[in-house]
Each structure stands twice: as C-alpha cells, then as structure tokens.
Amino acid sequence: MRQSKPRIAIAGFQHETNCFGTTKAGLAEFEMADSWPAMLRGAEVIAETRGMNLPIAGFAKAAEDAGMELAPVLWCAAEPSAHVTDHAFDTICGMILDGLRTAGPLDGIFLDLHGAMVTESHPDGEGEILRRLRAWAGPGLPIAVSLDLHANISAALVELADYIAIYRTYPHLDMAETGGRCVPVLQHLLAGGRLHKAFRQMDCLIPLHAQYTGATPGRELYAALPPLAQAGVLADIALGFTAADYPDTRPSCVAYAGTPGAAAQAADHIAKLFARLEPHAHHPMLTPEQAAEIACQPRTGKPVVLADVQDNPGAGGTSDTTGLLAALAQAGAQGVLMGLFHDPAAAAAAHEAGQGGLFRAALGGRSGAAGDQPFEAEFQVLALGDGRCRYSGEMYGGGVAALGPTAVLRLMGTGADITLVVTSLRNQCLDLAHFTHIGLDPAAYSTICVKSTAHFRADFEPIASAVYPVAAPGVFPCDLGTFPYNNLHPDVRTTPARS
C-alpha cells in the first residue's frame, strides 16, 4: 500500500435475473431511472447516492470517515427482468474497466453487485465481472464485494473476491450498512492482514416469500451471525434467487477468519443450522378466492394487506397480472386499494380521458403466465400524476422513484369498490409513498393489495391488521415445483424437507 491515504475505486452493476421472464435487460434499462437512480458516472456515484440505503453509499460514507480516498467509477442497476443482454453486459463491464484504467494508482476496489445476474452468455454474471476485473487488477489488489441476500454465489466468485458481505435483512433495510462493513475488512487487508475463506452451498431452494427475515427460518439463521463475529469470524448467508436457473442457484454461506479451520468450522455450523431449520421454510399462501373471502369480511380498524407475491416486479414479474383483481371483483369486495399495475396503455388512456373521465380498457394480463388474462372493464379516472415519487419508508427513504405517467382508477360496473394505481413503468409496490404521492391514504381502506413479496412489509406492516401472501398467476412462482428448471445442480431440491 502507498504511504498516503488508501485510494479505493468504487463501482456498482446490479441486476437480479428471472430466467423465466420474457423481457431482457438491455443497455437502456441500466441507463434509465426506475426504483433506483439512472446510470451514474464519476463523481455522480457519490453525490447522487449520498444518504441513500445503497451499498455503494454506505461504503462511501464509511470509507470517507475512515480517511480513505475514493475513485468513483460507475454505478447502475436495472429492474429485475429476464437475462441481461450481452451488449449491455459487455458495454458496462468495459465502462468499469476503462474507468479503473484511468483512475490512477489504486490500493483496492469495492464493488456493489447483486449476485443473481444471468446474461445471455454468462450464467454466473458476477463471477464473470470479477474474472474480468481480476484479469486487469492481478492477484494482489484487494477486492471487496457486497451482495444481495438473494444472491446465488459460485465458488468462482468467492475465489476471485477477497471479501464478500451480504445483506442480512429482507426487506433489505441494511444495504448501506452492508457496504459499510467492507471498509474495516479492506483496512485489515491493506495493513497486511490475511483472511482465510470457507464456502458452503445448501441442497434445497427456499421460496422467496419464505425468505422474509422476520420469521423462521431467516430470523434464526441471521441471528447466528453476530456470535460468530464476536468469535472473530466474519460470516454471511445468501438465501438465493430461485428464478435464476443455473447450477449455483441455491442458498449458500461464506465465512472469513484468521485460520482456515475457524472459517471452515463457522461455515459448517451455518450449513447444519440451515438443514435443521429447513422444514420451517413452508410458508402458506392463499388462493385468490380465499383472499377475496378475507377482503369481504366486515372490518374496522387497520386494513388487511394482501401480497400478490407471484407478480412481484422486484423479482422479474410483469406487475400486471389480474388474477387477484378478478377474484376481488367477482366477490364484490369493498374498500380495496391495489397497486402498482404496470400498464402504459391504460395510463395513457386515463390521461387522455382526464380526471373524472370514463374509459374502457383491457387492463394488464399480458404476462404470459398460465391463467392470466386482461381484465376488461370500465374505469373512472380519480387522479393523474407524472409518477415522480419520493420514497418515505425505511428501505428507500429519500430516494425518488420514476413511475412514468400514473393514474388512479376506480373500477366501474361490477358492484365492487376497488381503486387501482396504474403506472407506465414497472416498480415494486413497497413504500406507502407509492400511494400517498398521488393523494391516497392507504390506512383509509379496508384491504390493500400490493404487488410485492416481502419488501412491502417494512412500510405496510405498521398500518396493517394482518398480512397474507396470495398465490395468483404470475411469472415468479413461489411454488417452486411449477418452475420448468433446466439447469439446477442435480443435488438441489426445489421443495424444502418437511422434517
């Protein structure tokens, strides 16, 4: 290490790939703003993410506090979707490498990655990113990486990175904290310290809705990590992203310690704990009809929240399936608020009709999922907006979502009382601001329906009397037996053990 301040390059390239989705992520998807900022270059990386709950922001803050000099290169992310195109992947990797080459002398690198990126040519996207960076940097430059809790980690990625830190909460409330945890490790490595690694992969998949860390098994798994840290072992757990169909799709753990034995012992401990808790990974889901029955029950006080977990755009869903809407309308449910429906044509028709106007539309239903179809009805326009939404919740608070032209619609002619928020861009409904920014008070409704799997819980549970996952048709099944997997490791089971 040079005698001056340690100089660390920082970059980020995030995508969570649903291999069963239909729309790929091209370069434009990484350049545009969605639930996260547009592509950032150079000094923008720090300035535009400062104070946000993002790993790169947390790393930058902790590094500056530690007296490090930062060389920001690039940060970008795209909404979860099908594969990242080769053009996008090669272009962005090239931009990062070009930035590193021109950054001047470096003592280390921090990368803000996801861990479940699959490209058209590289099933292990993050492993390929590290391979390219390591080929340029050589073996001696320390590289620390932050990953999402839903990462599918390969042995190659563990080998190529000097240290991996992983989110420990779902909803991901600790993204910035995770980035910050990489700073003292880089300091240790730059001072000549060593870390021995251990890596273990589990042999069954955990459905995404059962990965919620406020319940078993996630709660107990992550509670095991602080005692290991007190014993001098830095360990983390990834629960995996079940829609990324490749051999390393599975939960895993990493452990770092001063001796190989201590790292291996910690990793084995986590793997055994996972096996013991596996039978608790069966979390029930309602059918749309059962959910409609609950919505129709008389209620005072806090609303019920129904989570349309299989149409989560944050997992590559289309955010436009209509199974739950159809069941609620058929049952004549009253006082229902639903969002976010991604239907640019319906949003445009609403803006053309104007506030108070009426129009007919075939809403959503274009996912291609079995049993999904457009919902044809008349709608009244209650409110219109430009879709610029400033998050207010703990997970994304302070950030700005880009929803595109947005409309609040009332379903007409069915006898049901259902209000829908329709957007022009896909966005996971995880923050109360998705409703309040356009004049709606979610707490005033009897039932709230969100297209999200678990991230909504951080902001919606405090106003809810109960939360129910609902298994309506969608391209992100939480019943993993319905996925047409082709590339899983033969030892991996799609259903957790019962005992």
Q: What is the pLDDT of residues 67-103, one digit of tens each?
A: 999 999 999 999 999 999 999 999 999 999 999 999 9
Cα(106)–Cα(97) distance, integer angstroms = 13
**CATH superfamily of domain region 7-281:** Response regulator (3.40.50.2300)
Cα(80)–Cα(317) distance, integer angstroms = 8
Indicate the domain borders of the chain. Answer: 7-281, 288-477
Cα 362 to the center of its chain, rounded Å: 29
What is the CA angle 183-184-188, rounded to 5?
120
Q: Which two tokens stand for residue 179?
A: 């980035």
Cα(90)–Cα(29) distance, integer angstroms = 14
pLDDT recorded at residue 3: 55
User: Assign residue 186 a region: left if phi > 0, alpha if psi is -120 to 50, beta otherwise?
Assistant: alpha
What is the CA angle 137-139-145, rounded to 5?
75
Cα(268)–Cα(254) distance, integer angstroms = 10
Give the tens place of pLDDT for each residue, 399-427.
899 999 999 999 999 999 999 999 999 99
Provide the sign of the torsion angle of the four alpha carbons 213, 215, 217, 223, taken in this order. Answer: positive
pLDDT recorded at residue 323: 98
pLDDT < 50: residue spans in the chain: none
E-state strands within 176-268: 196-201, 234-238, 252-257
Neighbours of 224 (CB within 10 A): 17
Do 167 and 148 form a contact (C-beta atoms < 8 A)?
A: yes
Q: Which residues contact 441 (CB under 8 A, 6 or more apart)?
A: 435
Q: Which long-range contacts (CB under 8 A, 24 or more apart) does 408-412 make?
A: 408/381, 408/382, 408/383, 408/384, 408/438, 408/439, 408/440, 409/346, 409/350, 409/379, 409/380, 409/381, 409/382, 410/379, 410/380, 410/382, 411/329, 411/377, 411/379, 412/358, 412/377, 412/378, 412/379, 412/380
In angstroms, the Cα distances linking 45 to 41, 103, 307, 432 are: 6, 14, 34, 27
Do 328 and 416 form a contact (C-beta atoms < 8 A)?
A: yes
- Global pTM value: 0.96
Do 242 and 206 form a contact (C-beta atoms < 8 A)?
A: yes
Give the tens place of pLDDT for each residue, 159-200.
999 999 999 999 999 999 999 999 999 999 999 999 999 999
Q: Which of 234, 190, 176 is nearest to 68 (CA)?
A: 190
Cα(166)–Cα(164) distance, integer angstroms = 7
